[in-house]
Structure 1
């Protein structure tokens, strides 16, 4: 499970605020709710 981050919806955690800087590359970020990690995935 994880949160889907859109370009105009930044993800705010206890430590930092993350947004989608890869939108121009056709990528988005997924934050793992368990590990609180950010992964880059390609969007088809």
Structure 2
């Protein structure tokens, strides 16, 4: 039984989680700024 495979799999999952979390945070930030811009347009328009 190769003990290197589960460790590699775990590291891969961890890396995927980190990148996923970062992209999710960026997406949330983008949505918030978009919503803020819409509110500004409504108040000025």
TM-score range normalised by the length of the shorter chain: under 0.3
Looking at CA atoms only, which structure, 1 or 2, has the larger radius of gyration? 2
- Between 1 and 2, higher relative CO (CA 8 Å, sep ≥ 6) is seen in 1
TM-score of the superposition, structure 2-length normalised?
0.19
Query: Between Structure 1 and Structure 2, which shows a larger proportion of strand residues?
Result: 1
TM-score of the superposition, structure 1-length normalised?
0.19
